[in-house]
A and B are shown apart, each in its own frame.
Chain A
Amino acid sequence: MAYYILKRLLAMIPTLLGVAVLIFVLLRIVPGDVVEARYLGQGSQFQSQELMDLERKKLGLDQPLWTQFTTWMAGLARLDFGLSMWTGSPITEEIKLRFALSLQLAIMASIFAQLLAIPLGILAALKQDTWVDYAVRVFSIAGLAMPSFWLGILMILTMLIVFKWVPPMVFTPLWVNPWENLAQLIWPALAVGYRYSAVGTRMMRSAMLEVLREDYIRTARAKGLWLKLILARHALKNAILPVLTVMSLEFAFLLGGLVVTEQVFNLNGLGMLFVEAIARRDYTLTQALVMLVATFFLIVNFVVDIAYAWLDPRIRYR
């Protein structure tokens, strides 16, 4: 097991290197840079090539691409992400500011999704082809079909029209004012969690259906075991593996991928930062965010693989 863990950890290095090369090259292919985004888009009558050249020099954009890449890589090796090209602030500071909100939202959406997905999936499997199953399926398909940002817009409009109320505009940490914090984050968590739960529900239902047809479940039932016990001890543990994979990847996605939902609810999270970094051609910040999300995906995948062995003793890693 230790050998396997070491092998997996080492395998992350070339994967991350590949991601680094890809994002570095892709950003440079796209037209425009941070200096143009800063000085050419405001409709000003006066433009100074001298100023733009000066800014490019300050940011190191006048250096050959290879030099820019090696400088960035050397920084990464020291876990130094550098400065944002747009604000000039340390990238770690920019990310730290938004991380708490994104993490809390991802956790809240995941909890909500799992609270819905697991019982509904089990229920639908147990009551296969009854009205209960159909109702759960319609509910989950609706969740898949409805983009979470659209659901978010509907929620805001409903709150505005019916209750003449909108969520707070500024993030307050949970430990500062829990009520204010929840009043802001509960809505996006519900909107995102619903879509996220739909994926889980469908996966849970199909995995559970498969497991429920297994011989050992039939044997357990024939022995007269209590249904709840069969489900909890035998069926769920086996059916949950694929659900765990899907839900974990969704969780990793939630950390940086809630771009539109964050815009709709005006949340100062990593998704919004990502979009703004790309729109401003903030190379250093975009690169750091991509590396962060890629690392997060790799870690989540790794943890899920390890959890597999813990949940299913038949699985052994060498």
Chain B
Amino acid sequence: MKRLARLLAIAAGALLAFTVQAQAPRSGGELVFPVPSEPPSYDGHREETFGLIHPFAPFYNTLLRVDPFDKGGTKPAPSLAESWTVSQDGKTYTFKLRQGVKFHDGSEMTSKDVKASYDKIIFPPAGVGSTRKGQYAVVEKVEAPDPATVVFRLKQTSGSFIASLLSPYNFIYKADILAKDMNWYEKNIMGTGPFTFVEHVKGSHVLGKKNPNYWDKGKPYLDGFRAVFMRESAAQVAAIRGERAQIQFRGFTPKDRDNLKAALGDKITVQESPWDCILLVTINHDKKPFDDKRVRRALTLALDRHEGSKALSQIAIVKAVAGVQVPGTPFATPPAELNKLAGYWTDAEKSRAEAKRLLKEAGVADGFSFTFKNRGIPMPYEPLGVWMIDQWRRVGLNVRQEVIEPAGYFGVIRKGDYEVAMDFQCGYIVEPDLDMYKFLSVDRNPANYGRYKDPVLDDLYDKQSRATSVEERKQLIRTFEKRLLEEEAHYLMTLQWNRIVPHSSKVRGWTITPSHYLNNTLDTVWLAQ
């Protein structure tokens, strides 16, 4: 009996050892992935597209990063900074930098480089563009007291400051290069990342090879990567299906997922996550009758989001019914509570009856016509647009859709040349300060296309941003959400995007997050045999 037990223990141990060995990262191989967009320049401080992140993030490091294995995509992890501390008053953040980190040209990375990079982002000199300057309005100055320490001094406390440092765009550049030419990084690449730059053939591909001197010893696992620019989603799917590529990091449609799974079976692994992107409906408060909150509320009440979610998630990249935060994330309103808001009720008939009553009360006649402007992008603008028009017709509104070509779309909306239109928000991290900034009064944020001013909403935003306890912040966010989506109905939420990444089962060490801007450094990714 004892012998049997011992044999079983040995077998179990061997099995465990085998499993561990089977899961141990394997070095070698080239990761090939299509990228649906190509960036105008290589400068992360200037660009906003994921087309920059997917092929170029592997050449750089940031000060902090989101933990590459955190599916929620919010947990801060060290990168070039080994550790950090926050002062008692919450206004000074001190970062200790990793020692022995080298740029690809062999020079040492020090606090001088971090300071120069952040100075470029936060305080760009005249003539230098920084897309994210506004995001760091709270920063008073950046200091480098010694080569291994960086200090950020804030004007006031900020609940989202650490999250803002997780931006995958904040590449650390070399100070000496920036001192000579602030725009050098627009056309050149030189970082501390796990891969070194080999070539970029415009319109075609980017090649990177393993950085043998990478500071994180043993990484990266891949010998290199090849990012191939492909606009057409059918071509991307064909590349995965034909096993020419292993993964496309942005995401595919439910139909593409099903087709790939049906064709390749176990050779395909599917990762899904709520996506930190959402289509919103912006309502022009300067146009009658949309200046009347009863009309705006009727528009939201008309949408049966719960049924819409069931139907649309079969054909489009949308799924969850959402408030101002991605469902399931720390500050998101739980569904039971969210369903109490007008427009989120589970009884669609009750909602529609209320919508009709409000329209009548506001003097809007049955059959009232208006134009809904939509952006000329098929997925998911087209199915959501069609769905909403159908929903509004059910409460007696006659809606005409006008589709505008993507490049000119936001110019038209920004000028206020619309009644009701589709708007879009996408973030690199789920963080209330970032996600709710969009809804501030137009004099605080020009990206508020509804053109309203709401000091109460602004005040709630500021209070939640400075809140010191999580519970207090949650309550303030709920109040903000109720005012935005129900009481004033300034904006309408459609459905949260759903990110679907079907990839070759050989791809390991990559975890999906709610943002397609995250987790593209590729240092943890490896290819199984």
Contacts and interface: CB of A to CB of B under 8 A. Distances in A.
Interface of A: 30-33, 36-49, 51, 54-55, 86-89, 94, 97-98, 153, 156, 159-160, 164-166, 168-171, 263-266, 268, 272-273, 276, 279-281
Interface in B411-429: 411-412, 414, 424-427
Contact of B411 (A32, A54, A98, A264): A32
A153 B445 CA distance: 45
Contact of B235 (A44, A46, A265): A265
B204 A36 contact: no
A38 B40 contact: yes
Q: Which 10 A-B pairs have the closest CB atoms?
A: A32-B408, A166-B242, A43-B426, A31-B408, A40-B410, A42-B48, A268-B203, A37-B407, A46-B134, A266-B235
Given A45-B437, A166-B239, 15 more contacts: A32-B410, A36-B411, A47-B445, A51-B130, A88-B186, A97-B203, A164-B243, A169-B228, A169-B244, A272-B231, A273-B203, A279-B405, A279-B406, A280-B40, A281-B407
Contacts of A263: 231-232, 235
A268 B202 CA distance: 8
A45 B438 contact: yes
Contacts of B201: 97, 170, 268
A197 to B, nearest CB: 25
Nearest to A169: B228
A44 B447 contact: yes
Interface residues of B, number: 61
B133 interface: yes
B435 interface: yes
A90 to B, nearest CB: 11
B144 interface: no
Contact of B242 (A86, A165, A265, A279): A165
Nearest to A57: B127
Contacts of B263: 160
B234 interface: yes
Given A31-B408, A170-B204, A266 B230 contact: yes
A32 B245 CA distance: 35
B409 interface: yes
B241 A44 contact: no
Contacts of A97: 201-204
A88 B404 CA distance: 27
A87 B204 CA distance: 14
A12 to B, nearest CB: 29
Contact of B202 (A54, A87, A165): A87
A279 B40 CA distance: 13
Max chain B Cβ within 10 angstroms of own Cβ: one of A30, A43, A51 = A43
A130 to B, nearest CB: 41
Nearest to B40: A86
Interface of B: 32, 34, 38, 40-41, 47-49, 127, 129-135, 186-187, 201-205, 226, 228-232, 234-235, 238-239, 241-245, 263, 277, 404-412, 414, 424-427, 434-435, 437-438, 445-447
A165 B241 CA distance: 9
Max chain A Cβ within 10 angstroms of own Cβ: one of B234, B408, B424 = B408
A288 to B, nearest CB: 15
Contact of A169 (B245, B409, B446): B245
B311 to A, nearest CB: 24
A88 B242 contact: no
A286 B411 CA distance: 20
22 contacts: A32-B410, A32-B412, A36-B411, A37-B407, A40-B411, A41-B407, A43-B424, A44-B426, A45-B437, A45-B447, A46-B132, A48-B134, A88-B41, A97-B204, A153-B234, A159-B242, A160-B238, A160-B241, A164-B243, A169-B230, A170-B204, A266-B230
A30 B414 CA distance: 16
A40 B414 contact: yes
A265 B232 CA distance: 9
A169 B434 CA distance: 37
A314 B237 CA distance: 56
A35 to B, nearest CB: 9
Contacts of A156: 234, 238
A170 B228 contact: yes
Given A43-B424, A45-B438, A51 B238 contact: no
Given A30-B408, A87-B40, A268-B203, A45 B445 contact: yes
A285 to B, nearest CB: 11
Max chain B Cβ within 10 angstroms of own Cβ: one of A38, A46, A281 = A46
Given A39-B48, A51-B129, A166 B408 contact: no
Contacts of A42: 48-49, 426
A40 B375 CA distance: 12
A45 B34 CA distance: 27
Nearest to B137: A46
Max chain B Cβ within 10 angstroms of own Cβ: one of A48, A49, A55, A169 = A169
A48 B132 CA distance: 9
Given A44-B131, A47-B445, A166 B411 contact: no
Nearest to B39: A87
Contacts of B226: 170
A168 B49 CA distance: 26
A3 B327 CA distance: 76
Nearest to A93: B202
A98 B203 contact: yes
A33 B411 contact: yes
Contacts of B426: 42-44
Contacts of B41: 87-88
A171 B201 CA distance: 10
Given A40-B411, A46-B447, A266-B230, A160 B242 contact: yes
A38 B405 CA distance: 14
A273 B204 CA distance: 11
Max chain B Cβ within 10 angstroms of own Cβ: one of A32, A263, A265 = A32
A36 B408 CA distance: 7
A168 to B, nearest CB: 7
A40 B203 CA distance: 22
Contacts of B38: 276
A105 B6 CA distance: 69
A51 B410 contact: no
A221 to B, nearest CB: 53
B181 to A, nearest CB: 14
A89 to B, nearest CB: 7
B407 A32 contact: yes
Given A46-B132, A165-B242, A273-B203, A41 B438 contact: no
B131 A48 contact: yes
